[in-house]
Chains A and B, each alone.
Chain A
Amino acid sequence: MTALRNVAAIVEKEWRHYFGSPIAYVALTMWCLLFGFFYWVIFEQFLRYSMQSAQRMEMGGGFKLSLNDLVISQVLHNMAVVALFILPMLTMRLYAEEKRQGTIELLATAPLTDWQIVIGKFLGALALYVAMLAAGFLNFVLLWRYASVRPEWKPVLTGGLALLLVGGAFIALGLFLSTLTRNQIIAGILGFGLGLIFWILGWLDQPTADSFTKVLAYLGITNHMDDLIKGIVDLKDVVFYLSFIAFGLFLAHQSVESQRWRA
């Protein structure tokens, strides 16, 4: 009970920090702008395809085009890249700023455990990201309102889950990196660089790869997203992200604790 209250206090503090400064508004604005922009460009492309397809259909060829496959899933894949850019900038301050400001001493001498602080900070950043996701997904509502053939809602929901999990993984990674330094820029660059490496690991997933490369490829952070975005919920993928997040938080906790010993 106390533990929950403590975590809630930290979440609220982080949330206040994001929204008490321009950070949240800039992040939300850029996110929505990019979300809308990708959506518009991809949708324009879809309209061209469907026109061509309609002509072919008249001639007996062609096929039905799916909004889910050609619009929504494309936009979601692109937004995962945007998350890779934006989230390290939201997480880099989580510990680095407290250390530079000296406020880490306030948290560390309050009757809180390190775990409560780590989880509170993670959830605080995640809450902002959820707000970003929610704002972005409003774009898709238009499809239900205006499209003659409505998209399926299930893949949209699992796609949202995919983005949430990928983002959670970036946030956990960024949170850990932020515990390592008092310099936000360093935490930010590390977060972006390592996030990108985890991304590129996924490219190693070739049918001809040897087993070592396959293991590396398994760590690819976006590969596990593909099925979810298609609407296929494989427990394996969800577990991958949850364990990625848990491991990130664990490292963050260990790092905070060990610094106390070395300090």
Chain B
Amino acid sequence: MIEVTSLTKRYGRHTAVDGVSFSVQKGEILGFLGPNGAGKTTTMRILTCYLPPTEGSAKVAGFDVFEDPIEVKRRVGYIPETPPLYPDMDVATFLDFCAKIKGLPAASRKAKIDEAVQKTRVEDVRHKLIGRLSKGYRQRVGLAQAILSNPDVLILDEPTAGLDPKQIIETRELIKALGGEHTIVLSTHILPEVSMTCSRVVIINKGRVVAEGTPDELMQRLKGAAALRIEVRGTTGPVFDLLRGVPGVVAIRPKEDAAGVVGFEVEAEGGHDIRAELARAVVQKGFDLVGLHQTGMNLEEIFLRLTTTDSALESKEVAQ
């Protein structure tokens, strides 16, 4: 559905997107992950024909964004990071305007608007001025606008930014429900969002793709570095020394220290399971063992590994 081939975008001397390639199959939800300023928004803007690429090409539904922008725009629904809304219009008027500029025929306009309003649950604010709506409603009106013409492709730039937890969950559910019917590309820098909603992830940093795969695949890839989580009642210093003494331990990272309980992440040599050894050592020294379990590396860590430069990561570990 979407074919991006060595896409590059330069602003003057600054390269925002540097030879990015990826593709999205029909019905897939692709998570576009990266720290702020990684080039997510720029890539999305190229896909929606808002910006022309400097080099490379992008095709949506077989149409090139540069050669046939109108055809691409007809097939793409898009919400930028801040949903583009006219504060002095009410929701119904705004959606009607959007339906018109998207070229929906007059006969089906009303039905399409009703459908979008229903899907995004904005019925109760239908006749309110957009300027008076809460952030959550605005985001949903933005989404209603994007799905109005029932486009093949939805491009959502940080659809949950600035929402409260309840709204975030609702929005994610909505996006999941829209997947399958639509091909979705969503960007975020919030990691759980990706593992919850996306079927595939592209991690991008400094304009380059650094990893690509399903959330599971990405976790699998870094499984070698699997770790143990241990929580012990005590103070950081002595417990740290104790754990260091256990044979097979190669790295220890203190995690948190709350209400007399300290947590550590322990990496074992070759990924061996040393839970028994750890438990025995802790109990023998008279500490209370509060928790001990295996952790796969979560996306957050994978992400940090991939997007933090090696030197920064090392210095962090040395400091610990």
Contact = CB atoms under 8 A, between A and B. Distances in A.
Interface of A: 2, 5-6, 8-10, 12-13, 16-17, 20-21, 101-113, 260-261, 263
Interface stretch (B68-76, B180-188, B220-228): B68-76
27 contacts: A2-B103, A6-B100, A6-B103, A9-B101, A12-B100, A13-B97, A16-B97, A17-B86, A17-B88, A20-B89, A101-B84, A101-B86, A101-B87, A103-B84, A103-B86, A105-B45, A105-B80, A106-B84, A108-B49, A109-B78, A110-B73, A110-B101, A110-B102, A111-B70, A111-B73, A260-B52, A263-B11
Contacts of B101: 6, 9-10, 107, 110-112
Nearest to B155: A109
Nearest to A117: B101
B51 A109 contact: no
B100 A5 contact: yes
Q: Which of A9, A106, A261 has the most CB of B within 10 A?
A: A106
Interface in B5-25: 11
Contact of A109 (B11, B50, B103): B50
Q: Which of B98, B100, B145 has the most CB of A within 10 A?
A: B100
A183 B103 CA distance: 30
B16 to A, nearest CB: 11
Contacts of A5: 100, 103
Contacts of B73: 109-112
Given A105-B50, A106-B84, A110-B73, A16 B93 contact: yes
B51 A263 contact: yes
A142 B167 CA distance: 62
B57 interface: no
A104 B70 CA distance: 16
B48 A109 contact: yes
A5 B109 CA distance: 14
A182 to B, nearest CB: 14
Given A9-B101, A111-B70, A105 B84 contact: yes
Given A17-B88, A20-B88, A111 B102 contact: yes
Contacts of B70: 111, 113
Interface of chain A, main secondary structure: helix
Contact of A9 (B49, B52, B80, B97): B97
B82 interface: yes
B306 interface: no
Contacts of B100: 5-6, 8-9, 12
B85 interface: yes
Contacts of B78: 105, 109
Interface of B: 11, 45, 48-52, 70, 73-74, 76, 78, 80, 82, 84-89, 93, 97-98, 100-103, 145
A263 B52 CA distance: 10
A102 B88 contact: no
B52 A109 contact: no
Contact of A21 (B48, B76, B88): B88
Nearest to B49: A109
B102 A102 contact: no
A2 B86 CA distance: 23
Nearest to B44: A109
Which 6 pairs from chain A and chain B are nearest by CB?
A: A9-B100, A106-B84, A111-B73, A110-B101, A103-B84, A109-B48
A123 to B, nearest CB: 15
Nearest to A106: B84
B145 A106 contact: yes
A263 B46 CA distance: 12
Nearest to B80: A105
A257 to B, nearest CB: 10
A108 B50 contact: yes
Given A16-B93, A105-B84, 8 more contacts: A6-B101, A6-B103, A12-B97, A101-B87, A102-B82, A109-B50, A110-B73, A111-B73
Contact of A106 (B74, B76, B98): B98
Contacts of A10: 101
Contacts of B52: 260-261
A12 B145 CA distance: 18
B51 A111 contact: no
A186 to B, nearest CB: 21
Nearest to A120: B101
Contacts of B98: 106, 110
Q: Which of B45, B86, B87, B88 has the most CB of A within 10 A?
A: B86
Contacts of A16: 89, 93, 97
Nearest to B82: A102
Nearest to A17: B88
Q: Which of B73, B82, B93, B101 has the most CB of A within 10 A?
A: B101
A106 B93 CA distance: 15
